[in-house]
Amino acid sequence: MSLADNIFIDMCNDILQNGVSTEGEKVRPKWEDGTFAYTIKKFGVVNRYDLSKEFPAITLRRTGFKSCIDEILWIWQKKSNNINDLNSHIWDSWADENGSIGKAYGYQLGVKHKYKEGEMDQVDRVIYDLKNNPYSRRIMTNIYVHEDLHEMNLYPCAYSMTFNVTGNKLNAILNQRSQDVLAANNWNVCQYAVLVHMLAQVCGYEVGELVHVIADAHIYDRHIPIIKELITRKTYDAPTFWMNPEIKDFYQFTVDDFRLDNYVTGEKITNIPIAV
């Protein structure tokens, strides 16, 4: 069993056994048939992944590795808010007729800000500090910009990253206000683990810990039987992560520069209902 499987199973059991139901409350999400999508939720879930020991892809089922990398590059590298720059269709429901999701996600990372060292966007500021001020305690990003929320088709879920260099290891905290555990948990974990690997390589560090802080970790009512079956499955050893060692410029990475070898998993779960 991989560490990621252990963490996922323990988290799901905790939510199912100790979580609070929102049934009957005034909730926003609905299913496609128009009924309210209730959840069992836990507040303040914190999961820690030591990236120096293994890559945190669960083996209970296959995580769409290439697609999650494509999305993290869309946000952090392309700094795009247009689904026409993305190869998957996960954002289609929130895009307008031109493909824009508004001033959300990649848009915010691409906005330039004035610093003593000159104008930089948030990604370039992180890279600058990791190379020039590695022991700063101010290396962070935030895309939850209140003045622009009215122009976002979806408020950011994973909204903040804080980076910390300890010794020669790059650690990071991912802050997430809300998470659909079945649909998105390991997807987010994998893509931000990849991001830490990318930044560590281009800035000259080894990878350390990824700490994932979820304010509202929830399992939707129609996902409960799926989760219960999923966490009883056989698990396998963690896959081996490969990233092209030749890439030293953050903006030169492509989806083909990443690979999971020996990734053995349980069967795919199809037709997961999504609440919007």
Q: Which CATH superfamily is domain 3-261 in?
A: Thymidylate synthase/dCMP hydroxymethylase domain (3.30.572.10)
Annotated binding site: 137-138, 177-180, 188, 218-220, 275
pLDDT of residue 70: 97
Token couple for 117: 């060292």
**pLDDT tens-digit profile of 109-159?**
999 999 999 999 999 999 999 999 999 999 999 999 999 999 999 999 999
Maximum pairwise Cα distance, the chain? 54
- The pLDDT of 55-75, averaged and rounded, is 97
Mean pLDDT score of the chain, rounded to an integer?
A: 97
Q: Which of 89-93, 121-125, 161-165, 232-236 has the lowest mean pLDDT?
A: 89-93
For the chain, the domains span: 3-261
The answer for residues whose C-beta is within 8 angstroms of residue 28's C-beta and 6 or more apart is: none
Percent of the chain exceeding pLDDT 70 equals 100
190 catalytically annotated? no
Q: Which of 12, 157, 190, 203 is catalytic?
A: 157
Euclidean distance between CA atoms 154 and 101, whole angstroms: 7
Q: Give the 3-state secondary structure percentages of the chain, helix then strand then coil, rounded to 5.
A: 35, 25, 40
Token couple for 270: 């199809």
Annotated binding site for dUMP: 137-138, 177-180, 188, 218-220
1: burial class by Cβ within 10 Å (0-12, 13-18, 19+)? Answer: middle
Euclidean distance between CA atoms 242 and 37, whole angstroms: 38
Euclidean distance between CA atoms 31 and 146, whole angstroms: 28
Confidence of residue 202 (pLDDT cuts 50, 70, 90): very high
pTM over 0.75: yes
pLDDT of residue 271: 84
- Structure-token match 């990003």, residue found: 141
